Amino acid sequence: MRQHDGYEGSVTGTKLIATDLACVRGGRTVFEGVSFTLGAGGAVQVEGPNGTGKSSLLRILAGLLDPAGGTLANDFGTAWLGADATLKPGTRLRGELLHWARLDGRPAAAVDAALAAFDLTPLAELPVDVLSSGQRRRAALARVHASGAALWLLDEPGVGLDTASLGLLAAAIAVHRAGGGAVVVATHGDIGVDAPDRLTL
């Protein structure tokens, strides 16, 4: 996960503007001409078959990959969730999330709220090694939640989640947007994001 400036809940007028973005990997043009604008409270759902560049687009938006063409302006503080839910072996769940929250300048209360949002409070003192794949995915989402970033970039966040956990994810995204946050989600199917703008690659 990558975060820029912290989210203080006041992002009026803040925007992400992508203009004619292009991606080239291994000498092959993956996509080109991708343009959209995202404001506070907004959501973009990126869809398309495997290999069309959904993950690469999110990495470009996060500043982790340079575009082959086009321009990107992002005023949001940003948190990125990739495909791997990486947790440090040998740590306890709450302690692991506290570590990252401190790096983001966030209080312990933000971690406790994130644990609650993803129904992880009963697991807070368990070693991360014993968590199931779905629990680890929820933990990674809780890390994004606790970061305080206004823009969430979520790459296939529903992978490994059961129906109840998908409901928690949808609820967390709804609350985030209601508070002025924004989200870009790459997904193969509907995960319950309310009325997103759809971008097909």
Domains within the chain, CATH numbers bracketed: 15-38+53-76 (no CATH), 80-196 (3.40.50.300)
Check: CB of residue 136 under 8 Å from CB of residue 182.
no
Quote the pLDDT of residue 143: 95
* CA–CA dist 67, 33 (Å, integer): 11
17 half-sphere exposure, CB direction, 13 A CA radius:
7
Phi, psi of 140 (to 5 degrees): -65, -40
Strand runs (DSSP E) across 14-113, as ranges? 15-25, 28-39, 43-47, 69-74, 78-81
Angle of helix 133-146 versus helix 163-178 axis, rounded to 10: 10
- What pLDDT, on a 0 to 100 scale, did the predictor assign at position 5? 39
Quick one: pLDDT at residue 4?
A: 39
Q: How many C-beta atoms lie closer than 10 Å to residue 165's C-beta?
A: 19
- Residues in Cβ contact with 99 at an 8 Å cutoff, skipping those fewer than 6 apart: 88, 91
The closest of 149, 141, 151 to 191, measured between CA atoms, is 141
Q: Rounded CA gap, 7 and 29, in Å?
A: 35
So what's the pLDDT on residue 7? Answer: 45
Q: DSSP letter at 29? A: E
Give the three-state DSSP class for 180. Answer: coil
Average pLDDT per block of 10 residues along the chain, 201 residues long: 43 80 94 96 94 94 95 93 81 95 94 97 95 94 96 94 96 96 93 93 91
pLDDT of residue 85: 67
